[in-house]
Amino acid sequence: MPTDYLPIFVLGVLAAAFSLLVIGISIYLGPRHRHARRMVPYESGITPQVSARIRFPVKFYLVAMLFIVFDIEAVFFYPWAVTFRQLRLFGFIEMLIFIGILLVGYFYIVKKGALEWE
């Protein structure tokens, strides 16, 4: 049984060794000069107008999290659609419950104004 996992272990060791080798070479061969012009943030060749360390509003992160949640729901629809004929009424009711929970969450975030931009 442990011999079945030997190729995976060897692959993991080789990947770790290669990544450490590349990092080591870049540290050894890379430039070590620090000066003000090199430390300026890159903005498509344009001189930066403001600091790069500005704060993003919390709504940006909230919308990103909501996108992930509602995007992942699509992952659950595909296997359900594939096995719909075998699941019959039970699968249909379970998916209605799942969609109902998502709709409750959606109406909650709409009521709280999470999707409104100022």
Domain presence at residue 71? yes
What total of structural domains would you count in the chain? Answer: 1
pLDDT, tens digit, 9 for 90 and up, residues 70-107: 888 888 888 999 999 999 999 999 999 999 999 998 89
d(CA 80, CA 96): 11
Is residue 39, in this structure, part of any structural domain at all? Answer: yes
Structural domain contains residue 117: no
**pLDDT confidence of 42, banded at 50, 70, 90?**
low
The domain that holds 52 is classified in CATH as 1.20.58
> Does 27 fall in a domain?
yes
Distance of CA 90 to the CA centre of its chain: 32
What does the pLDDT read at residue 15? 97
Model-wide pTM > 0.85 = no
Show the tokens assigned to 5.
């996992």
Tell me, yes or no, whether 118 lies in a domain. Answer: no
Domain span holding position 35: 2-112
Task: Quote the mean pLDDT of the chain.
Answer: 85
User: Which residues, at least 6 apart from 105, have a Cβ–Cβ distance to it below 8 Å?
Assistant: 69
